[in-house]
Structure 1
Amino acid sequence: MMTEVVLTNARIVLGDEVREGSVLVRDGVIADIGANGAVGEDLGGDYLVPGLVELHTDHIEPHFAPRPGVRWNATAALQAHDAQIAAAGITTVFDALRVGVYSETITVSDMRLLGDAIASAKAEDRLRADHLIHLRCEVSAPECAGEFEAFKHDPNVRLISMMDHAPGQRQFASIEAYRVYHMGKSKKTLAEFEAFCARRVKESEANAPGNRVAIAQFCQEHGVTMASHDDATVEHVEESMRFGVKVAEFPTTMDAARASHEAGLAVLMGAPNIVRGGSHSGNISAGALAEAGLLDILSSDYVPVSLMHAAFKLGESIALPEALALVSRNPAAALGLEDRGEIAVGKRGDLVQVRMADGVPVVRKVFREGTRVA
């Protein structure tokens, strides 16, 4: 049975312009973009934007482990996370799960529970957004290779990033910045912190090189997109290129971002960085990369609502279609999701009604393949 949805009286954000008019979605696919006057759901002049595509969000984890030692039901945690994701205008999400987790409270068994919950929910069609998995691999961890085995045959794993959070590496090239961050978070004494750093550096030297090679080989053999993480130098980018990386997540310096962009990698930065006006770690700001023409993708990271907010904030200084491409068309293209990411005939009817309130974009309605989900 054919289904049709008509959304009219909207400011439609297309790939290269904002046009007033209507959109017809037939059987989940955009069938026509026309003028106002069509009979349908009146959006009252609000923006109609593509459903957002999120490549890196850690937000499922706090739903599952809301307090130290507390574990929520994995299905309930996923459903709560999914509702919040959809309400933020995100219609495709890559949930970040970890291996080599380096945590006293989260284990790979916990991550696998969440992965299984995602698989079951997709099979039973009870998710608002389309959920896939971004597997974050802490290559310095002794457990990384063994824990990676738990996800090697999961078809929902479509993106894998290789991380090394050891002190003196990448995100924490500055030991002083790492001390401030880690001691504030873990409440370790200075002596405990120094012993921890020594152990982490030793583990990184022993494990990271081999794990990077093994994970890169798996991605190449199985067609999984690979991302680098926190590259800080041109040498880091050159290493990423040798491994076949396609997405450069959170480069920490202008040099690394420029080298990544010039090498054809999609440069991904955090939307909270745009909203806050800078990095919470003291690294290069996403705004500076946008001004330099080096920013390709935004990710909500730890605040789902930041994705839409950051796009509209950037839309104050660059064209709105260009800003929204950072959270829709560009991430979709980077992962080979050619059926979504923009409002165009033949694309999925993933659409979001947005109204501005005091300079903040407010998501009013969300449609996934023409069905309202939020």
Structure 2
Amino acid sequence: MNDWTISGGRVLREGTLAEGDLHLAAGIVAGQRASGARRLDATGLLVLPGIVDIHGDAQERQLQPRPGIGIPTALALRDSEAQLLAAGITTAFLGVTLSWEPGLRSLPAWRALLDALDEARPHMAADLRVHLRFEVDNLAAMPDALADIAAGRVHLVAFNDHTPSILKKLKDDVQAAKFAGRAGVDVATLRQLADAVAARRPEMPEARRQLADAARDAGLPMASHDDASVAERETFRALGAGICEFPMAEEVAAAARAAGEAVVMGAPNVVRGGSHIGWAHAAPLAERGLVTVLASDYVWPAMMEAAFVLAGRGVLDLPAAWALISANPAEATGLADRGTLADGRRGDAVLVDAARRAPVATFCAGQLAWISSAGAARLAG
């Protein structure tokens, strides 16, 4: 294991950017240079805490680059980690949807991904965790979900309820074809399956309670997804979900914040200047303190870009904007060992060329995990 001194950059500590050195020793942020530490010249660069992505499902594009076309899971995970590191993301909660749909989001796909993660983790630098996005009508998969939670293979539980909207979209032939392509079945088969799932919807509340009990017993953070009303947020709060993901109305976000809960929205929303489906614009909500966490959602590089976009708007400075993608998501998920560059914290850091808004090097647990060609030229003995 190599120890490192990252010298000459502007380091983000305690909400302030200031020139100085960052020392990494034995996997953590250290107060002084370790004997024999390697040096990386960060002159002109920002030295920032590694990004913590609380909700991202971009790995689905590696698993299924075209509708119905699967790629071996181990290969897809290796590609995903490479992309995460190149985006400055050192901790990623992979949003894995466990749905009643066949194909990409099915129970077999869930099992394959967890098995591949177990095998890959010893060889990975990034900390890849599982964000179980459980479709609450997926009663057949409940035994697996409960067992995997109890076994420690899940790190965040989210309650998804997309079945009503899927049922509505399946009535349209064009929309139905999209869902069927992802599932790898014909439209008629998918419609028949959806009708069978809908028939058991009265059993959904009890299944949701069982899932919440299991997550609570395991000490896992819980999130609700796409809350449409304050009443819906209150329902999930009663189950123990302290994270409000992608609230559909500003008043829902305000209610969650009044209760001291984390509110998550997508970094692509900030980068694009608004939601792609017509919901609230995340940037002004973050500036008002109603959004506390930005997640990659479906584009990993959007997280870093969103922090710079927010800083450029002039309301939040870069340290405050960076907290939305580092300290705040770490706190929301109970990861007290990361998210800042305080002494004793996990040695996760990203060196950034601010002019290009681009990563130059990424360190995970004190080790150099990814470096650009420009960064490699800065290495010294």
TM-score calculated relative to the size of structure 2: 0.85
Q: How far apart are 1:119 and its partner, in Å?
A: 1.0
Segment of structure 1 superposing worse, 278-287 or 266-275: 278-287
Query: Contact (CA 8 Å) 1:13, 1:320: kept in 2 or not?
Result: no
1:130 to 120, 127, 131: 127
Range that drifts further, 9-18 or 223-232: 9-18
Correspondence for 1:68: 67
AA in 1 matched with 2:134 = C
Letter in 2 for 1:126: H
In 2, are the aligned partners of 1:52 and 1:328 still within 8 Å (CA)?
yes
- Superposition RMSD in Å: 3.1
Which of 137, 147, 151 is 2:148 aligned to?
151
Tell me which amino acid in the other structure corresponds to 1:96: G
Structure 2: distance between partners of 1:156 and 1:197: 28
Deviations 1:207-258 (A, max 9, x none): 4312211111111112111111011111011101100112111111101111
Give how far 1:198 is off.
8.7
Q: Structure 1's 268 and 226: CA in aligned 2 closer, same or farther, altered over 3 A?
A: same
Q: 1:253 aligns with which of 229, 240, 249?
A: 249
Percent of counterpart pairs with the same letter? Answer: 36
CA contact (8 A) 2:138 2:197 kept: no
Residue 277 of structure 1 deviates from its aligned partner by 0.9
1:305 matched to 2:301? The reply is yes
Q: Which residue of 1 aligns with 2:84?
A: 85
Cα separation, partners in 2 of 1:179 and 1:325, compared to 1, 3 Å: farther
- Aligned partner of residue 164 in structure 2, secondary structure: coil
Summarize deviations over 1:333-368 as a string: whole Å, max 9, x none: 1111111111111111111010134xx510110011
Matched, 1:352 2:350: yes
Q: Distance in 2 between matches of 1:200 and 1:228?
A: 25
Matched residues in 1 for 2:368 and 2:252: separation?
41
- Using a 3 Å threshold, how does the CA distance of structure 1 residues 182 and 288 change in structure 2: closer, same or farther? farther
Cα distance in 1 for partners of 2:223, 2:44 equals 39
Whether the 8 Å CA contact 2:103–2:109 is kept in 1: the answer is no
Does the 8 Å CA contact 1:139/1:204 hold for their aligned counterparts?
no
Looking at structure 1, the residues matched to 23 and 234 of structure 2 have their Cα atoms a distance apart, in angstroms, of: 46
User: Given residue 47 of structure 1, which amino acid in structure 2 is its aligned partner?
Assistant: L
Deviations 1:247-296 (A, max 9, x none): 11111110111111111111011111110111112111212311321111
Q: What is the distance in 2 between the residues matched to 1:81 and 1:242? A: 35
1:15 corresponds to which residue? 14
What is the CA–CA distance in structure 2 between the aligned matches of 1:271 and 1:184, rounded to whole Å?
Answer: 29
Q: Which residue of 1 aligns with 2:158?
A: 161
- Residue 147 of structure 1, CA deviation: 4.5
The Cα shift of 1:332 comes to 0.8
Contact 2:47/2:350, CA 8 A, preserved across alignment: yes
- Which amino acid in structure 2 is aligned with residue 63 of structure 1? Q
Would you say the 8 A contact 1:57–1:302 is kept in 2?
Answer: yes
* Deviation, structure 1 residue 33: 7.4
Residue number in structure 2 paired with 1:269: 265
Equivalent AA in structure 1 for residue 126 of structure 2: A
Alignment match, 1:206: 202
Pairing 1:241–2:237 present? yes
User: Structure 1: 5+ residue runs without aligned partners?
Assistant: none
Are 2:44 and 1:45 aligned?
yes
Tell me the SS of whatever aligns to 1:45. Answer: coil
Tell me whether 1:55 sits opposite 2:51 in the alignment. no
The aligned residue for residue 323 of structure 1 is 321
Q: Secondary structure at the match of 2:159?
A: strand
The residue matched to 1:21 in structure 2 has which SS?
Answer: strand
Kindly provide the amino acid, as one letter, of the partner of residue 337 in structure 1: L
- Distance (whole Å) between structure 2 residues aligned to residue 115 and residue 138 of structure 1: 17
TM-score of the two chains, using structure 1 as the length reference: 0.87
Write the distance in 2 (CA, Å) between the matches of 1:198 and 1:137.
16
Measured in 1, the distance between the counterparts of 2:231 and 2:215 equals: 21
AA aligned opposite 1:157: V
